[in-house]
Chains A and B, each alone.
Chain A
Amino acid sequence: MKTKHVLLIALVSALLVMSPAWAPQDGKRDIQAMLVRIINNVETKAPTKAFTKAINFQQLKAGYEVRTAAKSVAVIKFVDNSKLVVRERSIAEIKGQVQGREILDRQVHMTKGNIKFEVTKGPKEQFRFTSPISVASIRGTSGTWGQGDSTSTYVMLTGLLNLLNLVSNRSEDLSGGQTGITDAAGNIIVRQSTEEEQNDAEKNEEQEERTRRTIRITGEDKDGKVRTVILEWEE
């Protein structure tokens, strides 16, 4: 009987100790986003699964990856209306948690590619772009992020961004009209953007780019006259 009591007390104690783990982590949930537009070949990957073809208005959650092929674009929107345009040949992973009406943490991790971002100004929420060499913290900002094998490049259209190099632990602030480049050697360079960089950052790729193709077929009509039929189509 005594042993039973001890076991019972131990069980209750264990349950009490473990109880925080059962709780829904104070209402914490995975961040939610949506693919509101896909152009050409876009794939998504849920955690522990393989890439599959993406469809319009597919939901994305923490741990999902989005991959775009050549001439392909994916437009992702978050619940606060923040928008990411994942440009061609990019792989981006979404991470983050929300609690109630607050975004606790939101990250996009990219090892290679290019993203155009328009982040909604929020009272507290921050957006972080991470790569193996850098972390950018932004709030209410628009611009582009290009990630290569050894460099991260940010071209800012509006707002502020803090760029941290994970190798040297150096950080710099960027504002509208500036370009920041950081590399695997730990350097950070901040300078005024060139016109070409700004134009590229402003470029709207949310509409499909199609290639116009033409075939000319030369033959004779019923009267024996030479005629050329021109076939044009887009793909």
Chain B
Amino acid sequence: MIARRFLLPFLGFVLGFPLTVTSQIVPIVSGVKSGEALEGQPLEVTVELSQNLGVTRVLFAYRPLGASEFSEMEMLLSGRSAAVTLPGSVVRAPSIEYYVRVLMAGGKTETYPVQNPEANPLRLAVKQPSPKDQEILIISPEPGAAVAIEGLGIVISFFYAPPVVDPKATRILLDNVDVSEGAVLSEDLLIYSPQNFNLPLSKGVHTVTVEVKDTTGKPYHRMSRTFTLTTAEELAAEQTRFRGRVDGQLELRDEALSASHRSYIRGDLRANASYSIFEFGGLMHLDNQDKPTVQPQNRFNVFAQTDWLRLEYGDAYPRFPSLMVSGKRVRGFSASLSTGAINIDFSTGETARAVEGIVDSVAAIDTATTVPPKNSRLLRDTTYEFFTSGTFKRRFLAVRTSFGSSYEGTQFGIGFVKAKDDVGSILRGTLPQENLVVGTDFRVSLDDERFKWETQAALSLTNTDISGGSFTQADYDQLKASDPETGDQIEKIGKVAEKIITVNEFLFPTNPVGKGLPSISLESSLNLNYLNNYLTGMFFRRGASYVSFGNDFLQTDIQGFLVSDRIRMFDNRVYLSLSYERKQDNTADTKEGTTTYGYFNSSITVSPANFPSFTLGYGFNDRVADFNAISGSDSTLATISKFADEKTNRFYVGANHDFTAMGNRQSVSFTLSIADKKDNTFHKANQNNLFFQLAWTSEYRIPLQTVVGFAISNNKNDLQIFTPAGADSLLTTTEFNYSSLTLGARYRLLGDKLRLAADIIPIFGAIRRVSFQAGAQYAVTQNHHLELFFSYIQNSALADDMISSLIYRFNF
């Protein structure tokens, strides 16, 4: 065994053959869950972590079609899971590509997928409105409507249904009870009136499901609608009275992991109410893991709003032009006034709370010979403590005034963002910072937003160390002594500028509009939605020194353009997506050379009648630098190649088919994605990633639902390793392969009051573990639910994990 362990690398080294190394690690992310992604609808995504020791932040990086850059949103970390809700505007068909970044204490970052997440990210298939949704329409009840029992009727229109549909064979399920026999077909309308059949229906939420079949009896389409049943009296009273809703949950969770054991108590409370034109409410998230040594885990927010004014106090995510603020949590006060003619957005508070630094050591320093480092603090005489820097409290203020409607027409806006670390908020901290962004934006939206042109520009100034404050008069005098003319200019400007930002030697850039406009960012996009095309063109330029503390995830020192089109054809049955982006860095000519990035993505989704819908995709991204790099210092052995010269081809196939077999409803889906990167530099960092997933869901009448899934992830990475001078370099290959099997079952009992679920998920290969999960949901009453969950993870390399949780959910 030992001989084998050493012999293979040795042979690989000597013979110069690619060497294959199989690693086995435990990835920090054990899984990602989301609901069904529907185009334009907000989507909640939850990341399950295998352990949370040392995890400081979890970031969800995503890009919808047409974007080459990943945007990031910070997830709400809560114990061993982290959650984020993607806004509906980014949930666009056919899919969202994503990966997860987990930032660990000490600066280490882990990702999911573990290998090459940017080159071969994961995908969330986004369901576009099915073309069949436009063929068969539920006319009544309306989505989410409150309907009086005596006024309830189910009406389905087949006016747009193709001839292949047999309206008479349609099944109508009211709360899973087949009521089709009582339905009447009148020309294009299928009507069912429950009161004609004395069907007992209680007040509350109900679901109607419509299963449409074709003329051969095969399932054609299925759709559901939820509505609330009430009484005419309650409906009438509803219009005039105070309306309120409270919901929440309490979770007790115990995580006995291989590396740690923690118990969590979390509570969520959400309340919304309305009276006349006023709406108000709030939310609160309490977590026993919230402590002063980390950024807040708890959240709270209260709001009040009318159609034109919204006031918020607590944790808010204010909306400003993206160059200024995007996805930033601000704890404080936010307000938004929208009169249509003049609008004001305002947000003030803190974006980071003070977390004191940690003392590493205490030592004496002779200041006559040694300058104390920044991460030290004088305790007494010559005794200093050395520390790991904490986090300063960061105060934040953003204001934007705009003129014109937020929806249709023209709008012009101007605003600023000011963020400053509170120097005195902690004792042990280094490099407190300050940032100022001034921006303007312009939007023209016409023809029911079919034509939309949006432009924004911003200028930033950043000070990377304000601990010493602005220049003093002595500093100016010193500057003037060395260069009277320049010193005089700096003093004049500095004394004016210090009223808005700290002016010292750490302020950058010194000339915001100098060569390459380093402080300026500009974006302009045009969207045209005509003739079944959704065409987007965008130009962007972000300066090399542009920084906004309101948007941490902006790629800077880049300029380029993007064009994309999403085309619907053949009655929306074919959906073609194309996008191309080209961009370059080195906007201020401050780098050795310029790197050009290209990104192309295409996909076609076909939803034929009576045939599985499928998606085919192809894309590439390349990166080429116009300057060379050398592999080592020894010029005789060194290899020269371009600094960057690579291309990644990406292929994607996905399909989904719903059908009936042996009287049971079946749903089969599969996904195959391949990324192949060719690195032409001397690094030869070629990569090959393959991901395949198959899932088969069966719904039986008993009522049992089973899921069988299988997934394979194969990853191969090459890298040319350069050894010390005089030795040959070595091409190494690392493989990271694993596969998983999912066996799951769901069973409903006691008239749907009790739902049981169980899953077994063994994982083989580089990751070796078996996950056993079991859970039960019980509806105590209509407003009170209990959920019990157990997860046992058998790890091959570590001790086993055991997680259990009890959740109580309620609503009034």
Contact = CB atoms under 8 A, between A and B. Distances in A.
Contacts of B278: none
Interface in A43-76: 56-57, 59
Given A59-B186, A77-B139, A208 B236 contact: yes
A56 B610 CA distance: 36
Contact of B155 (A77, A140, A234): A77
B236 A79 contact: no
A37 B405 contact: no
Contact of A29 (B160, B187, B189, B407): B187
A159 B448 contact: yes
Nearest to B448: A159
A68 to B, nearest CB: 16
Contact of B189 (A79, A159, A160): A79
Nearest to B186: A59
Interface in A198-215: 207-210
B317 to A, nearest CB: 27
B408 A34 contact: no
A36 interface: yes
Interface size class on chain A is: 20 to 34
Contact of A176 (B162, B187, B408): B408
B242 interface: no
Contacts of B236: 207-210, 234
A57 B191 contact: yes
Contact of B235 (A57, A98, A101, A207): A207
B189 A32 contact: yes
B795 to A, nearest CB: 54
Name, among A34, A59, A207, A234, the residue most crowded by chain B CB atoms within 10 Å (CB to CB): A207
A81 B448 contact: no
A175 B448 CA distance: 8
A160 to B, nearest CB: 7
B140 interface: yes
A34 B151 contact: no
A81 B187 contact: no
B157 interface: yes
Given A140-B448, A160-B448, A34 B155 contact: yes
B36 interface: no
Contacts of B146: 207
B448 A36 contact: no
Contacts of A57: 140, 153, 155, 191, 193
Given A79-B157, A177-B408, A208-B236, A34 B448 contact: no
B137 interface: yes
Interface range for B? 20 to 34
B202 interface: no
A207 B151 CA distance: 11
A79 B134 CA distance: 11
A81 B157 contact: yes
B159 A210 contact: no
A156 to B, nearest CB: 10
A167 B157 CA distance: 38
Contact of B159 (A56, A101, A158, A175): A101
Contact of A79 (B148, B188, B407): B188
Contacts of A34: 139-140, 155, 189, 191
B366 interface: no
B553 to A, nearest CB: 34
B159 A80 contact: yes
Given A59-B189, A177-B405, A37 B159 contact: no
B625 to A, nearest CB: 49
Interface in A153-198: 158-160, 175-177
Interface string B187-203: 11101010000000000
Nearest to B308: A195
Contacts of A159: 448
A208 B155 contact: no
Interface string B386-409: 000000000000000000010111
A176 B233 CA distance: 35
Contacts of B407: 176
Contacts of B235: 207-208
B238 interface: yes
B232 interface: yes
Interface in B182-241: 186-189, 191, 193, 232-233, 235-239
A29 B406 CA distance: 43
A81 B160 CA distance: 11
A195 to B, nearest CB: 9
Interface string A17-46: 000000000000100101011000000000
B151 A37 contact: yes
Nearest to B340: A177
Find the residue from A29, A57, A101, A210 having the highest chain B CB count within 10 A.
A57
Nearest to B405: A177
Interface string B447-480: 1100000000000000000000000000000000
Contacts of B408: 175-177
Nearest to B184: A57
B160 A36 contact: no
Nearest to B446: A175
Interface in A125-157: 140
Interface in B353-375: none
Contact of B160 (A77, A101, A208, A210): A101
A79 B159 contact: yes
Contacts of A208: 148, 232, 235-236
Interface in B225-267: 232-233, 235-239
B148 to A, nearest CB: 8
Which of B148, B159, B161, B448 is the most central at the interface, judged by chain A CB atoms within 10 Å of its CB?
B159
Given A29-B187, A207-B239, A209-B236, A56 B153 contact: yes
A77 B146 CA distance: 17
A32 B187 contact: yes
A210 B153 contact: no
B298 to A, nearest CB: 38
Contacts of B140: 34, 36, 57, 77
Contacts of A59: 186, 189
B530 to A, nearest CB: 13
Given A208-B236, A210-B236, A80 B157 contact: yes
A81 B188 CA distance: 12
B742 to A, nearest CB: 39
Interface string B616-646: 0000000000000000000000000000000
A176 B160 CA distance: 28
Interface in B126-148: 137, 139-140, 146, 148
Contacts of B159: 32, 79-80, 98, 101
B679 to A, nearest CB: 49
Contacts of A234: 233, 236-237
Contacts of A160: 447-448
B444 to A, nearest CB: 14
Contacts of A37: 151
Contacts of B233: 210, 234
Interface in B154-168: 155, 157, 159-162
Contact of B137 (A80, A140, A177): A80
A158 B448 contact: yes
24 contacts: A32-B186, A34-B140, A34-B191, A36-B155, A56-B151, A57-B155, A57-B191, A77-B155, A79-B139, A79-B189, A80-B137, A81-B157, A101-B161, A159-B448, A160-B447, A175-B448, A176-B408, A177-B405, A207-B146, A207-B239, A208-B232, A208-B236, A210-B236, A234-B236
Given A159-B448, A160-B448, A234-B237, 9 more contacts: A29-B187, A34-B140, A37-B151, A56-B193, A77-B139, A79-B157, A79-B188, A81-B157, A177-B405
The 9 closest A-B pairs by CB, nearest first: A79-B159, A210-B236, A57-B153, A36-B140, A79-B157, A208-B236, A77-B139, A81-B137, A207-B235
Interface of B: 137, 139-140, 146, 148, 151, 153, 155, 157, 159-162, 186-189, 191, 193, 232-233, 235-239, 405, 407-409, 447-448
